């Protein structure tokens, strides 16, 4: 498995404002899709919800908007696991158009108990897979 996951995304009219520029909140949607598809590579059919009574929720977001995307642009939303905690997964993410970085940031998701909403430790097997991916990332740097 490669360390960075990349998801192609086309900009549609519904993603833009009246001037044909992607509305800022839609970048969060693009990044969510990339994280979800990355988690699917770990065998998680429904990447945000489990049958074992837990959910993933976004617990922290830090983004920097550098350049706008426009109607019909072909983009790539990326996700790279940058850290794994007891109940959290950190991602370094970006939205790119060819070599131009449009948005870059760090997003943390937390595993929480569906009933109580309290943090819940990551499944041991999933944690092992995530840490292996993190090790690949560290070897590349």
For residue 52, what pLDDT is reported?
A: 77
Tokens of 34: 């990339």
Q: Give the CATH number for residue 29.
A: 3.10.129.10
Contact criterion met (CB below 8 Å) for 1 and 31: no
Catalytic annotation, residues: 17
The residue assigned the tokens 């944690």 is 127
Tokens of 140: 């590349």
For residue 138, what pLDDT is reported?
A: 59
- Assess whether pLDDT exceeds 80 at residue 50: no
- DSSP secondary structure code for residue 10 in this structure: E
* H-run or E-run covering 99: none
The residue assigned the tokens 């998801």 is 7
User: The whole model's pTM is what?
Assistant: 0.89
- Point out which residues pair with 99 in neighbouring strands: none
Contact criterion met (CB below 8 Å) for 99 and 67: no
Give the number of domains in the chain.
1
pLDDT digits (tens, 9 = 90+) for 70-125: 999 999 999 999 999 999 999 999 999 999 999 999 999 999 998 999 999 998 98
- Point out which residues pair with 113 in neighbouring strands: 54
Q: What domain range is 111 assigned to?
A: 4-140
Q: What number is the average pLDDT over the span 44-54?
A: 69
């Amino acid at each position: 498995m490669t360390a960075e996951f990349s998801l192609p995304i086309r900009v549609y009219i519904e993603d833009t404002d009246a001037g044909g520029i992607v509305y800022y909140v839609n970048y969060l949607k693009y990044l969510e899709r990339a994280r979800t598809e990355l988690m699917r590579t770990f065998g998680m059919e429904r990447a945000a919800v489990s049958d074992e009574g837990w959910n993933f929720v976004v617990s922290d977001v830090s983004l920097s908007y550098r350049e706008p995307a426009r109607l019909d642009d072909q983009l790539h939303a990326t996700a790279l696991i940058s850290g794994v905690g007891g109940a959290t997964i950190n991602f370094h993410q970006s939205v790119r158009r060819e070599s131009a970085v449009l948005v870059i940031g760090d997003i943390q998701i937390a595993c929480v108990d569906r009933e109580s909403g309290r943090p819940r430790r990551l499944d041991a097997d999933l944690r092992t897979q995530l840490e292996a991916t993190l090790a690949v990332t560290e070897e590349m740097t």
